[in-house]
Structure 1
Amino acid sequence: MADCYPWQQGLWQRLAGREQHAHAYLLHGPAGIGKRALAERLVSRLLCQSPRGLEACGQCKSCHLLQAGTHPDHFVLEPEEADKAIRVDQVRELVNFVAQTAQLGGRKVVLLEPAEAMNLNAANALLKSLEEPSGDTVLLLISHQPSRLLPTIRSRCVQQACPLPGSGESRAWLHQALPGVAEEERVELLMLAGGSPLTAVRLHAEGVREQRALVVDGIKKLLKQQAGASQLAESWSDVPLLLLFDWFCDWIQLILRYQLTLDEQGLGLADMAKVVRYLADKSGQSSVLAMQDWLLEQRQKVLGKANLNRVLLLEALLVKWASLPGPG
């Protein structure tokens, strides 16, 4: 059975305790807060032939088939490759599945993640199944960015915001998940993860603190004219592009915030605090705002899986960043 996280208990009781289920749910919230685990737990409960209260029994034929990954009435739809779009052909397979009769005589359950990965044709192909599901079918859509979904997709689902754990809950859970990591490092990981504890664990496994140290060191050398944009763009080849843009968007926001408030407590993590203050003091506000607009525009392209030349994009980013100090 999927993990149960403490911050999901209230929502789980409401979802699993329903006497009648909607034909489609949209479970949404930031990445890394356990939406997939919640959805898989609900799949188990919906398909179980002998549920015990709010939980699947774990012993019936349906539970055994689900555990083995061979349940005929369960359909999972994901991108075929990481960070790729969900294609219309994949959705057509889902539509065919929904049209069939349940082989075990109960429900059919679909799990689709992330829903925003569907391209336009795929999303349109899904609409009919959302409007007129066949038989007792429940579709569980998971979205980290529901604003990127078609309004027609959102309107045909029961939208359910999934809770983000509080700071205390996150730190307590992370203490158990990463017992060998120092508290200071766990706090930093949680900040880098935007408060999402599961993302913090993933970032730790991916060596994000080492990646960030490489990037921060490069930015400092860039501003001191000890390294060039092309050299740095090449040296950051192993750092995910979206992660880089997340960091630069965060830093430009901190620069603008300090220009407006002069709040010494609002400079972000210690590794870039001095750089943020330096750039806030030396950069014109119009240049900072223009940089923020450009970063957000490029980040949207990255999110939209645009066909981008990574090195040229990073070179452009670094040239613009190096030109921030000065009149503007």
Structure 2
Amino acid sequence: MLEQARTPLPWHEPLWAALAAQQQFAHAYLFCGPAGAGKRRFAAAFAGWLMCDQPGPQGPCQQCRSCLLRQAGSHPDLLLIEPEEEGKAIRVDAIRQLVGFINQTAQQGGRKVVVLHPAEAMNQNAANALLKSLEEPTAETYLLLISDQPSRLLPTIRSRCRVQPLGLPGLQRAQDWLGAELPDVDDSQRTLLLQMAMGAPLRALDLHQQGAVAQREKVVDGVKALLKGQISAPRLAEQWNSIALDLLLDWFAAWTLELLKLNQGAQETASSADMDKVLGYLASRIQASELLDWQDWLLQHRRQFDNKANLNRQLFLEKLLARWKMLAERR
């Protein structure tokens, strides 16, 4: 079911106002930007606005028959295409369903809208099948593609869409928004959540719901114990079984970037308060060439993970931790 959003997030209101003021619309839009920026909410609001019988400048009316059907998740002229399971590919059968949908007459006599998310999850056959629909648009039918990684889409798909970047808010606005959403969470935890989320407020909110702060504390304690020789890499990898691999990769990638900045004098202290002493210690001992080799290895495996490669989690983490410890043992 598509998210029920009447309006976009506050930091996207200028783009919304410009879009809602237009008299004509592209047949296909690509809403792209960082994960957690609010693209799905924007697309959901825009889908509702396009289908609403009495849309206003702020969004759909939420009261007409079309809006009520959409809110109930039963509007026959709105189609959501997404993977059958999170993290899986969007297959060609789903795009064939899309093609059949757009070739039908609108059952409510208005517009038809397709929301496809995440667009980069389409496999090659699905992407090729979508191209024909983009090349031969149907009147009063709109395709809304959402993507965290638009570079992974076929150039021919990107070129046939109106690309609408949706960025992140500034730090203060992000903190204010998260504070309103999590009034019972203290400032230091909200700051850490935003830091882990690379400034993306919705991602920060999701991390809070996952219990990421407690998981982060467990990982930081484990890293310190590893460097002190108090635990082995295989044992620590086992202890991290319940922690999502994408979180671990994100944290090690962020720490590596901080190490590079500290090593090159681009910043004096680490911005990760829970790892400042560890990173400062490592940065004083490592050669830049060794850091870059480590970063290349880490990013290569991150790409494999993003591309749904079947990594052996235990073996991968053991190797990651062994290589990380070797950085501290360099002279």
Residues 234-292 of structure 1 show CA distances to partners (whole Å, capped at 9, x for unaligned) of 11111111111111111111111111116323x12111111111111122222211100
Whole-angstrom CA distance in 1 between matches of 2:186 and 2:59 = 36
**Residue of structure 2 equivalent to 1:189:** 193
**Residue of structure 2 equivalent to 1:227:** 231
Residues 127-186 of structure 1 show CA distances to partners (whole Å, capped at 9, x for unaligned) of 111111223210000111111111111111000011311112111111110000111211
Are 2:109 and 1:105 aligned?
yes
Contact 1:99 1:134 in 2 (8 A): yes
**Residue of structure 1 equivalent to 2:97:** 93
TM-fit CA distance, 1:326: 4.1
**Residue of structure 2 equivalent to 1:37:** 41
Pick the aligned partner of 1:250 from 254, 257, 262: 254
Residues 2-53 of structure 1 show CA distances to partners (whole Å, capped at 9, x for unaligned) of 1532111111111122111100000011111211111111111101122234
Pick the aligned partner of 1:276 from 276, 279, 289: 279
Q: Which moved more, 1:289-298 or 1:316-325?
A: 316-325
**Residue of structure 2 equivalent to 1:290:** 293
The change in CA–CA distance for 1:230 and 1:14 in structure 2 (over 3 A counts) is same
Whole-angstrom CA distance in 2 between matches of 1:297 and 1:72 = 43
The change in CA–CA distance for 1:53 and 1:226 in structure 2 (over 3 A counts) is closer
* Unmatched tracts of structure 2, length 5 or more: none
Displaced runs of 4+ in structure 1, greater than 4 A? none
TM-fit CA distance, 1:54: 4.8
What are the residue-to-residue correspondences of 1:139-288 with 2, within 5 Å? 139-261=143-265, 263-265=267-269, 267-288=270-291
Whole-angstrom CA distance in 2 between matches of 1:326 and 1:54 = 58
RMSD across aligned positions (CA): 1.4
> Secondary structure of the residue that 2:76 maps to in structure 1?
coil
TM-fit CA distance, 1:201: 1.0
> Secondary structure of the residue that 1:264 maps to in structure 2?
coil
The one-letter code of the counterpart of 1:223 is L
**Residue of structure 1 equivalent to 2:18:** 14
Are 2:327 and 1:321 aligned?
no
Q: TM-score, normalised by structure 1?
A: 0.96
Whole-angstrom CA distance in 2 between matches of 1:262 and 1:136 = 52
Pick the aligned partner of 1:120 from 117, 124, 127: 124
The one-letter code of the counterpart of 1:285 is A
The one-letter code of the counterpart of 2:317 is L
> Secondary structure of the residue that 2:37 maps to in structure 1?
coil
Are 2:81 and 1:68 aligned?
no
Pick the aligned partner of 1:133 from 137, 141, 162: 137
Contact 2:17 2:57 in 1 (8 A): no
The change in CA–CA distance for 1:101 and 1:262 in structure 2 (over 3 A counts) is closer
Whole-angstrom CA distance in 2 between matches of 1:163 and 1:248 = 24
What are the residue-to-residue correspondences of 1:49-64 with 2, within 5 Å? 49-64=53-68
Equivalent pairs counted in the alignment come to: 327
Are 2:310 and 1:304 aligned?
no
TM-fit CA distance, 1:303: 0.6
Whole-angstrom CA distance in 1 between matches of 2:108 and 2:267 = 62
Whole-angstrom CA distance in 2 between matches of 1:325 and 1:53 = 57
Contact 1:100 1:134 in 2 (8 A): no
Residues 78-123 of structure 1 show CA distances to partners (whole Å, capped at 9, x for unaligned) of 1111111111111111111111111112111000111111112111
Q: Which moved more, 1:242-251 or 1:49-58?
A: 49-58
* Unmatched tracts of structure 1, length 5 or more: none
Q: TM-score, normalised by structure 2?
A: 0.95
